[in-house]
Structure 1
Amino acid sequence: MKYLCIVYSDHDSEAPESPDSVSVKDACIEQDLALFKAGKLHMASPLKGPETSVVLKARDGRVLRTDGPFIETKEWIAGFMVIEAQDLDEAIDLAMSGPPVGILELRPILDEQHSKTGQDRSIFFNREDQP
């Protein structure tokens, strides 16, 4: 089963890099490589700070755009991983195998199929299986 691991941070996104932040970044990249080589990581990436975000809301047939963070909060989404695990316990172990980076949220990825064709979204994770 695939899990989305959302990484939250409460650090200032515009703060200059420190030796500590560089070592955490390096440890995260090392974790990503180890998980990828073990066949457990589909994708991972840090995200730019909330001040770079754009929120789009579909309302009454229109799209409303808001620049910047949607809500004022101390925590913001700093990155994500899509991991492969047998169950939630393994997903927790995989997510926690890297350096402590703040708050991690794990969610199982829903496996839906098209109602008429039966096509699921697995092709997006397995490029070699594309039609």
Structure 2
Amino acid sequence: MKYLCLAYYNPADFAAMAPAEVQALVSQCPPKDKELKATGQLRLSASLGEPEQTIRIQPRGGKPKVTDGPFTEVKELVGGFFIIEAGSRDEAVRLASIHPAATLGEQVGWYIDMHPIGFFEQYSGKPA
């Protein structure tokens, strides 16, 4: 099973940190990322652009409407994502727990939401 892991952060908490503190925190990330990649079960990993570059596309009157973003009702934003493949939920949790957002950055609100990935075929009655 594949899992989409969304890595969140609190931009206000980051902005409140001194540049040296930010550097000390983010410099710990590459070794953690390397450890996760070394498992061979990481399928994709990426950071997202700045929130001000976000756009929303949503249906309005049967047509797509494009609006500038960001749009969020919470103080945390998704800063990146990764996809892992694991044989069980427990294994997926173990793998996701290697990611920097699971072990570092408590002071900036880092955390991960992990979602099993389904495919539209599962709703069509056809084999995936």
TM range (shorter): 0.7 to 0.9
Where do 5+ consecutive residues of structure 1 fail to align?
Answer: 121-131
Alpha carbons of 1:71 and 1:21: their partners in 2 closer, same or farther (altered >3 Å)?
Answer: same
Alpha carbons of 1:43 and 1:26: their partners in 2 closer, same or farther (altered >3 Å)?
Answer: farther
* Contact 1:54–1:69 (CA under 8 A) maintained in structure 2: yes
Using CA pairs under 8 Å that are at least 6 residues apart, name the structure with larger relative contact order, 1 or 2.
2
Q: How many pairs were matched up? A: 119
Q: How high is the sequence identity, in percent, across the aligned residues?
A: 32
* TM-score between both structures, scaled by the size of structure 2: 0.74
Deviation at 1:72, TM superposition (A): 4.0
* TM-score between both structures, scaled by the size of structure 1: 0.72
The SS at the match of 2:91 is helix
Alpha carbons of 1:89 and 1:23: their partners in 2 closer, same or farther (altered >3 Å)?
Answer: farther
Moved more, 21-30 or 3-12: 21-30
Query: Residues of 2 paired with 1:46 and 1:59: CA distance?
Result: 29
RMSD: 2.9
Alpha carbons of 1:21 and 1:46: their partners in 2 closer, same or farther (altered >3 Å)?
Answer: farther
Deviation at 1:94, TM superposition (A): 1.2
1:6 matched to 2:6? The reply is yes
Larger relative helix fraction: 2
Match of 2:41 in 1: 40
Alpha carbons of 1:19 and 1:72: their partners in 2 closer, same or farther (altered >3 Å)?
Answer: same
- The residue identity in structure 2 corresponding to 1:93 is R
Match of 1:125 in 2: none
Structure 1 segments (4+ residues) deviating >6 Å: none
Match of 1:100 in 2: 104
Match of 1:29 in 2: 30
Query: Residues of 1 paired with 2:8 and 2:24: CA distance?
Result: 18
Alpha carbons of 1:112 and 1:30: their partners in 2 closer, same or farther (altered >3 Å)?
Answer: farther
- The residue identity in structure 1 corresponding to 2:104 is P
Deviation at 1:35, TM superposition (A): 2.2
- The residue identity in structure 2 corresponding to 1:33 is K
Match of 1:61 in 2: 62
